[in-house]
Chain A
C-alpha cells in the first residue's frame, strides 16, 4: 500500500516549456487534489476532483489544467511554464464517505514535486 505517489520528485523547466505532473493513489479514494506551496503562504488549492469524471477549479487555477484519468490517477499539466509557477506541488486524496463520517475525513498527501522554472 503505497498511499499517494507523485512523479517526478524534482523538475527544472525553462520558461514556455510544458510538462505534466503525475499523481496516483491506491486507497480507493474518491476525491483528489492538487496544491502548490510557496514560502509563507501555506497550501493553495489549484484544482480538485470530487469524484472520477469531475474536475473543478480551486483558488489558483490559472496556467494549469488537470485530468482525472481514472479513479486512481489525477494529473496536473503546465502548458507554458512561467517563473511564477516555481513551487512545491502536492497531490492529495480523500475518501469522502457519506454522512457524518465525512466530518473526520482527512486528506492524505503525496511526497511532493519541487518545480523550478527558469
Chain B
C-alpha cells in the first residue's frame, strides 16, 4: 500500500524563523509531489508542486525533493503568524493519477 507520512506536530516556530516541514513516501514510482495549506475550517489550497530532484523556490516557500531518500520537504522562510495552518503533503504515482495525502502537519507561528 502506497503511504505518505508526515509528522502531525504541532510544530511551533517564532515569527521570522524558518519552518521546516517534512514528508516521506513509500513508493519509488512516485512522480509529482504537492504541498497544500489548509486553514482551520477551510479547504486545502495548493502552495506549490515539485517533480524534479533538488530545490524549487516560490517567494518565501522552497520545496525540496530527494527521490533517492524518498523525501520531500517544505521550507517557509520569515514565518508569519498568517502561516499558521495545517500543511498537507500529497504524492501522485502516475501522470493524471490519484493523489495520496499524508495526514498533515500543524504549524503554529508565534508572534
A interface with B by C-beta (< 8 Å): 31, 33, 40-45, 48, 50, 58, 90, 94, 96-100, 102-112
Contacts and interface: CB of A to CB of B under 8 A. Distances in A.
A40 B103 contact: yes
B45 A109 contact: yes
Most B CB atoms within 10 A — which of A31, A43, A48, A105? Answer: A43
Contact of A48 (B95, B98, B101): B98
Interface in B59-108: 88, 90, 95-96, 98-99, 101-104
A3 to B, nearest CB: 10
5 contacts: A41-B103, A103-B32, A104-B49, A105-B95, A109-B44
Given A42-B88, A42-B104, A106 B98 contact: no
A42 to B, nearest CB: 4
Contacts of B44: 43, 90, 109
B54 to A, nearest CB: 15
A45 B98 contact: yes
How many residues of B sit at the interface, in one of the four size bands?
A: 20 to 34
B25 interface: no
B51 A50 contact: no
Looking at chain B's contact residues, the main secondary structure is: loop
A34 to B, nearest CB: 12
Given A42-B103, A103-B31, A58 B98 contact: yes
Given A50-B96, A109-B44, A111-B43, 19 more contacts: A31-B96, A40-B8, A41-B103, A42-B104, A43-B88, A44-B101, A90-B43, A94-B96, A99-B95, A100-B95, A103-B31, A103-B32, A104-B32, A104-B49, A105-B32, A106-B34, A106-B49, A107-B46, A111-B42
A103 B51 contact: yes
A104 B34 CA distance: 9
B19 to A, nearest CB: 19
Most B CB atoms within 10 A — which of A41, A103, A104? Answer: A103
